[in-house]
Amino acid sequence: MWDNIKEFASEFFVTGDPLIYGADVSIALTLIAVVTALTYFKKWTWLWKDWLTTVDHKKIGIMYVIASLLMLFRGGVDALLMRTQLAVPDAEFLSPEHYNQIFTTHGVIMILFMAMPLMFGLFNLVIPLQIGARDVAFPFLNSLSFWLFFFGAMLFNVSFVIGGSPDAGWLSYPPLSGKDFSPGVGQDFYIWGIQISGIGSLMTGINFIVTILKMRAPGMKLMKMPMFTWSVLSSCLTIILAFPILTITLALLFIDRYLGGHFFTLDSGGNPMMYINLIWMWGHPEVYIVILPAFGIFSEIVATFSKKRLFGYKSMVFALMAISITSFFTWAHHFFTMGTGANVNAFFAVTTMIIAIPTGVKVFNWLFTMYRGRLSFPTPMLWMLGFIPCFVVGGMTGVMLSVAPADFQFHNSYFLIAHFHQVLIGGVAFGYFAGLYYWWPKVFGFKLDEKLGKWAFWFWNIGFYVCFMPQYVLGLMGMTRRVSTYGWDKGWYDLNLVSTIGGFLMGIGFIFQVWQILHSIKFMKKAPADPWDGRTLEWSIPSPAPVYNFATIPRAEGKDWYWEEKQRIAQGLPPSPRPKLEPIHMPKNSGIPFIMSAFWFVAGFGLVFDWLWMAIPGFIGIVVCMLAHSFNYKTDYYIPVDEIKRTEAAAAGRGV
Q: Which residue is nearest to ligand HEM (CB)?
A: 107
Q: Applying CB under 6 A, which of residues 429, 434, 474, 541 lies at the interface with ligand HEM?
A: 429
Find the shortest distance in angstroms from Cβ 96 to ligand HEM: 11
Q: CB nearer to ligand HEM: give 496 or 590.
A: 496
> What whole-number distance in Å separates Cα of residue 422 and Cα of residue 398?
10
653 binds, among Cu ion, ligand HEM, another protein, none (CB under 5 to 8 A by kind): none
Query: Of these, 83, 106, 284, 559, which contacts Cu ion (CB under 5 A)?
Result: 284
Report CA dihedral (74, 105, 149, 263) to the nearest 10 degrees. 180
Our CB check for another protein shows the closer of 53 and 552 to be 552
Does 428 sit near ligand HEM (CB under 6 A)? Answer: yes
Instruction: Say how far residue 162 (Cα) sits from the centre of its chain.
Output: 25
User: Closer CB to another protein, residue 135 or residue 167?
Assistant: 135
| Residue 200 DSSP symbol | H
Helices (runs of H) and strands (runs of E) counted in the chain: 22, 2
Distance, in Å, from the CA atom of 476 to the CA atom of 19, rounded to the nearest integer, reads 33
Q: State which residue, 163 or 475, has the beta carbon closest to ligand HEM.
A: 475
Q: How far is CA 509 from CA 77, 153, 430, 433, 468, in A?
A: 13, 25, 12, 12, 16
Residues in 493-532 that interact with ligand HEM by CB under 6 A: 503, 506
Q: Measuring CA to CA, which residue among 359, 337, 357, 481 is closest to residue 403?
A: 337
Q: Is 184 in the site for ligand HEM (CB under 6 A)?
A: no
Is residue 405 packed enough to be buried (19+ CB in 10 Å), middle (13-18) or exposed (0-12)? exposed
CB 298 within 8 Å of CB 434: yes
284's contact among ligand HEM, Cu ion, another protein, none, with CB below 5 to 8 A by partner kind, is Cu ion
Partner whose binding site includes residue 340, from ligand HEM, another protein, Cu ion, none (CB under 5 to 8 Å by kind): none
Residue closest to Cu ion, measured at CB = 284
Q: Which is nearer to another protein, 342 or 620 (CB)?
A: 620
Q: Is 411 in the site for Cu ion (CB under 5 A)?
A: no
Q: Smallest distance from the beta carbon of 333 to Cu ion, in angstroms?
A: 5
Cβ within 8 Å of residue 548, ≥6 positions away: 134, 584, 586, 639, 644
Residue 240 touches which of another protein, Cu ion, ligand HEM, none (CB < 5 to 8 A by kind)?
another protein
CB 602 to ligand HEM: min, Å: 28
User: Rounded to whole angstroms, how far apart are CA atoms 266 and 543?
Assistant: 58
The residue type of 257 is: R
* Length, in residues, of the chain: 656
424 sits near ligand HEM (criterion: CB under 6 A): yes
What's the DSSP call for residue 425?
Answer: I
Residues that bind another protein (CB under 8 A): 132-134, 137-138, 202, 206-207, 209-210, 213-215, 217-218, 240-241, 243-245, 247-249, 251-252, 255-256, 259-263, 265, 267-271, 274, 278, 550, 553, 579, 582-585, 623, 627, 630-631, 633-636
Find, among 243, 74, 80, 106, the residue nearest to 170 by Cα.
106
Residues forming a β-bridge with 636: 587
Which part of the chain contacts Cu ion (CB under 5 A), choosing from 254-262, 281-289, 298-306, 487-495?
A: 281-289
Q: What residue ranges bind Cu ion (CB under 5 A)?
A: 284
Q: What residue ranges bind ligand HEM (CB under 6 A)?
A: 76, 79, 82-83, 103-104, 106-107, 110-111, 115, 169-170, 417, 421, 424-425, 428-429, 467, 481-482, 503, 506
